[in-house]
Structure formats: structure tokens, C-alpha cells
Chain A
Amino acid sequence: MEQKGTKTRPRKLYEVPNMDVTPKNKGSFLRPLKALSFLFREPVTLPMEPRPAAENYRGFHVNDWEKCIGCGTCAEICDNEAISMVHIPDLPEDHKNGIKPRRPAIDYGRCCWCALCVDICPTGSIALSREYIHISREMNTFFILPDEKGMHGLGYPIGWGKNEDSDLLDLKRQPMGEVEPEARSDNFDEIVDGFDAHTALIEASRCIQCGMCHEACPTNMHAPQYIRAIWEGNVEKAVEEIYRTNPFPQVCGRVCTHRCETACSIGRRGEPVAIRWLKRYAIDAVSPAKVKKIALADKAKKKSGKKVAIVGSGPAGLTTAFDLAKLGHAVTVYESKEKPGGMMRYGIPEYRLPYDKLDADIAVIEAAGVAIECGKAIGRDIGFDALRSDNDAVVVATGLGQGRSTRIPGSDQPGVFSAVDLLARVTAGESFDLKESAAVIGGGNVAFDIARSLARLQKKTFGKVDVTLVALEARDRMLADEEEVIEGGEEGVKVFTGRGPKQIVVENGAIKGLETVLCLSIFDEEGRFHPKYDEADVILHPAAMVVEAIGQATDVSYLGKDVTEALEWERGRIKIGRDGSTAVPWLFAAGDMVEGPDVIHAVAAGHRTASAIDTFLGGGSSKLEAAE
């Protein structure tokens, strides 16, 4: 490759010399004596003190411990292995935000002051100072744990610090294609395009393999490993890494709350690696048959002869089922609805999670030997006692299926719906009385799910959108994801923030609209939910239907009187141990109904519960990794 701007000149090799520098004549014999004049010149005298180093100087390390997150990338890039990460017990440890209690220690017997550690540091905490003198006979004084004061605590200024020119990290994410708002406003097609092989590779190459994501993930997914595999072009290896901890890659590759990205070190100064989209890319790139083969490679050959019943086919129930089936237990999952998947199917709109993708994940779980019986409600079609007597262990993972009501005047009107109920009806294709205008109460992701679903249905049916969403929280404190708020707005959802519902105005038996008042504060001094309103500031949002999306509750009436009394309860939820065990030895509980709040937590709970059940059943065959 030619350098830019290079013009090749004709070669003049072995031509006549173009500048002969042969000395013409020797100087006078006395000429060197001129140097004696130096005897009479002012001598150059430097003061006997350390000379101040240049502004860019690469001297001893300094490290701002407040900024440093202990990711260890400096140790990773160090070409001489001069940096080792030292555990500091006094420092805070915060997996969720990607902070580890360790700091780099430098061995000056190995350091070559190249400052690659500075250039790659994701936080910008480490730098080289202008201090350069250290004299000691003690070898161990050359091994230091630098803080912001430097090697001798003298507070020398920073020399080679973080600089845009020399920054080695790619702080910008690869762009993700989305269907334009006009094209998506009247259908439930998936919005996000997903990465192609090229962008996925570039995005994967941004990862510095610090492992903060692994620690932050509720189920400790091996994100660094599968990202590295994607970068190596080995998507099958990536899927293998994904299935080590998560049987819902299609789902989590789309709708995961991506705690990993919150903890990502690159996100300290830039945009975190798009770990969720990379997972989606990997699973989309491998054929379903191959995925099954990879996912079931570690399935036990022998049957244990034990039977387990699982109530509810959401992520917690199915993960438990998948693990137990792979361990050789006979597992049956009971689902009251027509199709399996729980909230993943009946709560998440199809434009975020296409049903065929969910089906693909569930097909792998079924291939592991899990029997899923749909349309069988416990308590209605099968008694809980029968379930108990037919199985060695029972898991309840029925989630939060019931919408809560605001109980404001008018909320008992026909035409007032709960969001979860309505979302399920949209999924099932059941008809309901769709109006030309609607108001949604709530500011969370569920509120946006139903608001955006209604907007689509309105556009399809009436050709225009009139959906108003009223959230109690201020705009900058919205509970919903930022992308939901932005995309909802693009699709025509009008968002009012900082307003609480007052009443649903009804005239002649028909809903006229929703009246809201300005919310002054949400919590009282003790931090309890106790909103205060300015009753004078009233707005009427005209709407012919109202949807309440202010939270969900669980229905455990199917448990029966005896079991309900035998269980321990905590604020309306079954009290469980860390492994999903309850006060009844054979009964386990997992998922939203006991913990929440999302799919990935449910998957994590599923693993823990499966492991506990396997032990309870005298397993010991457990090959599952502890989800710790």
C-alpha cells in the first residue's frame, strides 16, 4: 500500500552523486585551538534540584480511586504485565453499576512507561504524573499502589493523562436500524432491525472483556465470552456461551432490561457496548436445528425417575423446567392460557418481541423434554392437591397477572381496562371495544406498551391516533425506558408527565375523558408512596376509553386453603429463600410473583430454583452452574 500523498520519483540509483561533500582543503593546524575560547565563556550551570518535567511527561502513575472502577483493563493492555489488580476490602463493591473493589498496582521493575494503560482506561482515572525520582535499596518500594497523590504522596501534577488524540477506546456505538415511525404506526412488525454480520463484528470489537456485565447480569450471562466469540466470527460458540445461563436468548436479545449495559465500563465515558443486540445477532445467525443441538449438548443421558410440576409457563417456570429436564427429571408445565410464554407473550407487544422468536426459544425448551400443557388452569381444570400427589415437587411461577386499579371515581365504568388484561387480549386477537380516543394512566414500560399498541390499533382502524398517556413522575424521572418514551412520541402518543389521575368523567353512561391534577410530590418524608396534588391545576384529557397501567398483582387462590396457611407470607407475596424454597418443602416459587421485576431476573430465579429442586430430589447430578 502506498502512503497517502506519496509520489514516486524516478529512481536515481547509482547515478552521479548529487552533492559531493569531500572537504576541499584541510584547515589550519591551529584551527582546533579556537575551542580554547570556551574557557572564557559563561558556564552552563543547572540547579541541584529535580528538573521540572514536561507537561506530557510519563512519570510515575497516579490513579483517582473515586473514578477507578477496578475493571482491570490497564492490567490487560500492559505489555510487560507490570500491572496487577489488588483487592481492597474497604472499597465499595457495586455489581449493578460496574464497580469492583480492586485497584491497579504497578511493578516498576517491569513498567516501561508506555502509558497504554492511560490511553485505554475506560474511566480516565489512571494517568502518569510528572514525578520521576525514586531512590531506594528496598526492592518492594518499587511495587506501588498508586492513588491520586502519586508514588510519594507529593501531589505532582499529571503528565500524560487522558487525551482525545490518544484515547484507544471506541466510545461510539454502531448505529441500529429501526423501522421509520410512519411505516410502523399501523402494524405490529418488529421495530428494531438487528445487526448485520459486519456491524455486529465491529460492535463486538468494542468490548474490552472486563467482565463487569457478567457480574451485573442477574443470571451472570457470559457476555464477554459470547461477545468475543462474535468478534471471532464464531456465532455457534456465542450461542453455546449464551445457553450456559439463559434459555431465552431470542427474548433477552430483544426485550432484556440489559443490566449488563448499565454496568459496561465503556459506558463510563461513552456508549456502552450493545450487548443485548449482540446476543440477538448471535441467536438469529444460527439455524434453529443447530441451536437445539448446542443447547442440549449437556443434557443428562439417564432419567432420574422424579416428576416435577410447574405452574405457569413464563420465563421463571420454563427456565426451571429446562434445567430440570436437562438433569433428567420429568417436567410438566401447566399454562392456563392458550399458548406458553406468560408475560413474554401476553404482556410484551409483538413489535418488541415477535411471537415466532418466542416460539423458537420455547421449542428448544420443549426439545429438552419439557411437556407444556396449555389451557390447563390449576384450580379450575386440575386441583392443586392432585398436582401435589402426582409429582415429587411443585413450582409455582404464575407471575403478576392481575392489573391494579387506581380506584378513582369512574374507574369501575365499562370502558376502563387494566393494561395487562388488554395487552393479553391484543395478543390473543380477542376483540374489544376500541375507541377513537384513549387515555392511559401510568408511566412505566407497561403503560407505554399498551399506549403504543392502542395507537397502532387506532391507526389501523380509524386512520389516526389519539392516545394520551399520563404519568405521575416528572419527565426526567420516568419509570419507562427512554427509548419507549421517544418511540411512543414518534408514534403519536401524547405524554403528560407530573400529573395524577383525579377522576374519569362519565356522561350519560359514556366516558368523556380523564381528569388529572398536577402532582407536587410523589413520596412523603419517610419515602412512602403518598402523592400530593395541586387540586386547582386540573386538565381534562378527552378520551372515550381509559386504561390503567399502575402496577400488577398476583392471584394465588389456586393454592387452596391448606397450602396457603402452611406457607409464610411477606406483604402479600410468598416468602421464599434465595433458592426459591418455601415453608412447604416440596413447593417452590419463582418469578415475578415472588421477586420481579423482569425476564432476566425470572431466568436467574429459574436456575436457582431448578438447582434447589435437584438437590431436594436427591440430585447431585447437578451440572448447572450456580447462578451466583
Chain B
Amino acid sequence: MRPENYRPVSHPPSHEYELYFGPNHPGIEGNYAIRVRLKGDEVQEAIADGGYLHRGFEKIMEERLWIQNVALVPRICVPDPVPMEECYSRAVEQLGGLEVPARAQWIRVMMLEMSRICAHLFTFGGNAATIGFYTNMFWGVSMRDLFLDLFEEITGARIYHMYITPGGVRRDLPEGLLDRLAALLDDLESRLPDFEDLFFSNTVVINRATGTGTISAEEALAWGVTGPNLRASGLPFDVRRDDPYLVYPELEFEVPTMKDGDALARMMVRKAEVLESIKILRQVIARLPHIEGPVRCPLPNPLAWNIPAGDTFARVESSKGELGFFVVSTGGAKPWRVHVRGPSQMHAVQVLERLLARGRLEDIAQIMFSLDACPPEVDR
């Protein structure tokens, strides 16, 4: 518990009680706690209490060489690590004036979208699990594992790929990978109706999620909501489209939205985004074989690599929302300051506290997971 959240003795009225929700529970992809004050089943007040996964990423990064941070950044978000690598690398590229070769840009887009699908498949399961529906979780996680197999082939690692570096990616794709990716996408697409039947069209689920944790468009803007959560409230902002990076301008994709802003809307937007990611990946599979060239621009010796002084902000659309890295260099071999603008910070603290205060005890886990926040990204 954070010291500021600690209150030694409290004497709530006899009909009220406090519940310490967490830090281990099905509502989130990691350790995270909430102090909830309830009256019966109705939540009166919720105070987010993070810090369980705090490893001081931002501070550690100041002590590491520019290249060494490549090994650190994916750890800031376990279910969706690739945007971290992309965002950090792009910030360094912006400061150092590095140009990413075309082939590397396409490979990066491929990695980002594969990671997005993985993260959303994870969320499919998590959303279901919060309302006691574990079959969906097994399906989602097993499907995600097939993507991890491909990640393993490309990068040599399943979760923390450490693959995207400033200037490109670490190595080219293995022989025949795009074919295997195409087959996997077909497989995934053929499985989606199963998810649809079991979960997304399930009357029980729809009734349960409708109107739970509703965020209006005005509130979403005021609270700093981004990503699928924002689009579920009817605001179609997507960094990939509206502040494009890499080769996204050359790709055709839609930005799915819903107006309701409740847990169901957030689920549906994520489901639709999986389809869009499949669409993007198919375009990558078609284009990538025709793009020759290196996968990384020449880098200096990493032990003697100074980045020119300056500061920059780079942002990407992660599966959680708008992820940004603010990086300051004083011209040295290490960053002077790195600030991670994790979308989960907003979703898991200010948004969650407000949504829970309107909700009921049984909705807590569902609301949490529908926001798809990632605790290490809150703590970083």
C-alpha cells in the first residue's frame, strides 16, 4: 500500500465497510489494488493503490546506455511489449537523426499489429473471466500462444522480444515466416466465429456489460482516456491514422468506434480492432517481399554512442491507448530523462476511481478489465 493511501483507523458508519480489493485478482493483467468503501453492494468511493510492480523503469533508464534500454522497455507492458520498443526507438531516432530503412518500417508495423492482436486476445479472455466465463480465456490465451510462436521465430523470444532497436530491427525475418503468418491469420479468422458465438453474441454477456462503467465522450476527453476506450465513447482518434508513423499512411484500415462508452462498447471495439489488424497484416504480407534492403541503419559502437542534446516526444497507438515516450538527452551516452506516458496510468487511476464510484461490488473486476489497463505501465 502506498503510504499516502494508508489511514490508520477509520470509523465508517455501521452500514458502510471497506474492502481491500487486490493486489491479486482477476480484474487486471498484473498486481494492482483498490481500496473500496461500500454501502451494501454499492461502491461509495474507490482509491486506486498501485506500486506493486514498481521497478523504477524511468530512473533505471537514466543509468543505461541508449542501446541497453532496448532490453528494458518491453518490460513496461507485458501483454503488449512491442509498442514500448517502437516508441522508445523512435524517440531515440528522432533525437539522433536516424533514418529507419523501409524494410524495417514494414517489419515494425507487422510486429506492432501482431502484438496488438495478442493483447486483444488476452483481453477477450480477461473480460470473460471477470464475469466467470473461463472458456473464452483459455481460447484467447491459446490463440495468442500461436502468435508467440511466431514472435519466437522472428526474435528468439516469446514475450520480451527486444527486437526493435533505434535505427530498425535487430535482424531480418526467417525464411517462410510470412507464409506461416498468413496461415495463422486464416486460422484466427476461422476461430473468431467461435468467440462470437460463445461470448460476443451471448445474451448474458451483452446484458451484463451493457451500461457497466459508462464513460461519456465529454468525460473521456476530460479524464485523458485514449485508445480503444476513447473510441468506445464515440471519439475516433487513433495515432496510427491521425499522427501517422512508420508506413501506416500506406495502409488501408478503419478506426472502429461505438457510442455507448460502456464495458460492452469497449469489448466490441477491441474485437473489431483484431479484424483491422488482420487486414493490416495481410497488406504487410503482400508488400513486404517486394521491399528489399537492410533492416537497420548503421549504428555507432553502442559503447561510444552519444545522442545529440535535445528533447523529443514520440507516440504510438498501443493496444491500451496512446503511448508516449518523452526523452531528454544532454548529449551523453545515456538518456538524461525518460518519461513514459502510459495510457494505463489514466485508465487505472483517475478513470477507474470515478467509474467504480458509480458501480457495484460485482462490477469492479469487469470495469477494471474492460479498461484494459496494464499495472507495470502505471507503475513504470
* A residues in contact (CB < 8 Å) with B: 1, 3-9, 11-15, 17-23, 26-29, 31-32, 34-35, 44, 53-58, 73, 76-77, 79-80, 112-116, 119-120, 128, 159-160, 163, 165-166, 168-170, 202, 204-209, 228, 231
B contact residues around A116 at 8 Å (CB): 67-68, 70-71, 302
B contact residues around A73 at 8 Å (CB): 303
A310 to chain B, nearest CB (A): 41
Q: How far is the CA of A204 from the CA of B303 in the complex (A)?
A: 11
B102 at the interface (CB under 8 A from A): yes
Given known contacts A4-B99, A13-B242, A32-B198, A19 and B302 CB-to-CB distance under 8 angstroms: no
Q: Does B303 lie within 8 Å of A76, measured CB to CB? A: yes
Given known contacts A17-B257, A31-B202, A34-B197, A54 and B304 CB-to-CB distance under 8 angstroms: no
B352 to chain A, nearest CB (A): 24
B152 at the interface (CB under 8 A from A): yes
Q: Does B298 lie within 8 Å of A170, measured CB to CB? A: yes
A contact residues around B64 at 8 Å (CB): 79
Given known contacts A17-B236, A20-B257, A32 and B202 CB-to-CB distance under 8 angstroms: yes
Partner of A6, one of B71, B203, B231, B245: B245
Q: List 25 A-B contacts (CB under 8 A).
A: A3-B246, A4-B102, A5-B250, A7-B244, A9-B241, A9-B249, A17-B257, A19-B272, A21-B257, A22-B268, A26-B201, A27-B202, A29-B203, A32-B199, A34-B198, A44-B142, A56-B152, A56-B155, A56-B156, A80-B71, A116-B67, A116-B68, A116-B70, A168-B67, A228-B304
Given known contacts A19-B257, A21-B258, A53 and B152 CB-to-CB distance under 8 angstroms: yes
- Majority-rule SS of A interface residues: loop
Partner of A12, one of B67, B72, B241, B269: B241
B contact residues around A120 at 8 Å (CB): 302-303
Closest A-chain residue to B194, C-beta based?
A: A35
Q: Does B170 lie within 8 Å of A204, measured CB to CB? A: no
7 nearest CB pairs, A to B? A27-B201, A17-B257, A114-B71, A79-B68, A56-B156, A165-B171, A58-B156
A contact residues around B154 at 8 Å (CB): 56
Given known contacts A56-B153, A168-B67, A22 and B197 CB-to-CB distance under 8 angstroms: no
Q: How far is the CA of A76 from the CA of B67 in the complex (A)?
A: 12
Q: How far is the CA of A44 from the CA of B234 in the complex (A)?
A: 41
B82 at the interface (CB under 8 A from A): no
Q: Does A21 lie within 8 Å of B269, measured CB to CB? A: yes
A contact residues around B197 at 8 Å (CB): 27, 31-32, 34-35
B83 to chain A, nearest CB (A): 15
Q: How far is the CA of A441 from the CA of B149 in the complex (A)?
A: 68
Give the size category of B's interface with A.
35 or more
Q: How far is the CA of A28 from the CA of B171 in the complex (A)?
A: 49
B211 to chain A, nearest CB (A): 14
| Apart from A1-B94, A114-B70, 16 more pairs, CB < 8 Å | A3-B245, A3-B246, A6-B245, A6-B246, A8-B249, A19-B256, A31-B202, A34-B194, A54-B156, A56-B155, A77-B302, A112-B162, A116-B302, A120-B303, A166-B170, A209-B303
Given known contacts A9-B241, A231-B304, A21 and B271 CB-to-CB distance under 8 angstroms: yes
B186 at the interface (CB under 8 A from A): no
B contact residues around A160 at 8 Å (CB): 156
* B residues in contact (CB < 8 Å) with A: 64-65, 67-72, 90, 93-94, 97, 99-100, 102, 105, 135, 142, 149, 152-157, 160, 162, 170-172, 174, 194, 196-204, 206, 231, 234-237, 241-247, 249-250, 254-260, 265, 268-269, 271-272, 294-296, 298-305
Partner of A21, one of B245, B272, B303: B272
A contact residues around B172 at 8 Å (CB): 165
Q: How far is the CA of A102 from the CA of B198 in the complex (A)?
A: 60
Q: How far is the CA of A8 from the CA of B239 in the complex (A)?
A: 11
Closest A-chain residue to B201, C-beta based?
A: A27
Given known contacts A3-B90, A15-B236, A165-B296, A205 and B203 CB-to-CB distance under 8 angstroms: no
Q: How far is the CA of A159 from the CA of B158 in the complex (A)?
A: 14
Closest B-chain residue to A23, C-beta based?
A: B268
Given known contacts A7-B244, A18-B257, A55 and B102 CB-to-CB distance under 8 angstroms: no
B contact residues around A31 at 8 Å (CB): 197-198, 201-203
Given known contacts A4-B105, A18-B254, A18-B255, A207 and B155 CB-to-CB distance under 8 angstroms: no
Q: Does B301 lie within 8 Å of A168, measured CB to CB? A: yes
A82 to chain B, nearest CB (A): 11
Closest A-chain residue to B305, C-beta based?
A: A205
B contact residues around A53 at 8 Å (CB): 152
Given known contacts A9-B244, A56-B153, A56-B155, A17 and B234 CB-to-CB distance under 8 angstroms: yes
Given known contacts A17-B257, A18-B254, A116-B71, A7 and B249 CB-to-CB distance under 8 angstroms: yes
Closest A-chain residue to B171, C-beta based?
A: A165
Q: Does B235 lie within 8 Å of A14, measured CB to CB? A: yes
Q: How far is the CA of A27 from the CA of B202 in the complex (A)?
A: 6
Q: How far is the CA of A204 from the CA of B260 in the complex (A)?
A: 60
B contact residues around A56 at 8 Å (CB): 152-156, 171, 174
Q: How far is the CA of A32 from the CA of B195 in the complex (A)?
A: 9
Partner of B171, one of A7, A19, A27, A163: A163
A424 to chain B, nearest CB (A): 43
A contact residues around B156 at 8 Å (CB): 54, 56-58, 115, 128, 159-160
B contact residues around A205 at 8 Å (CB): 300-301, 304-305
B contact residues around A57 at 8 Å (CB): 152, 156-157
Partner of A77, one of B237, B241, B255, B303: B303
Closest A-chain residue to B271, C-beta based?
A: A21
Which of B71, B155, B234 has most chain A Cβ within 10 Å? B71
Given known contacts A11-B242, A17-B257, A56-B174, A4 and B100 CB-to-CB distance under 8 angstroms: yes
Q: Does A1 lie within 8 Å of B234, measured CB to CB? A: no
Q: Does B206 lie within 8 Å of A26, measured CB to CB? A: yes
B contact residues around A19 at 8 Å (CB): 254-257, 272
Q: Does A8 lie within 8 Å of B244, measured CB to CB? A: yes
B300 to chain A, nearest CB (A): 5
A contact residues around B299 at 8 Å (CB): 168
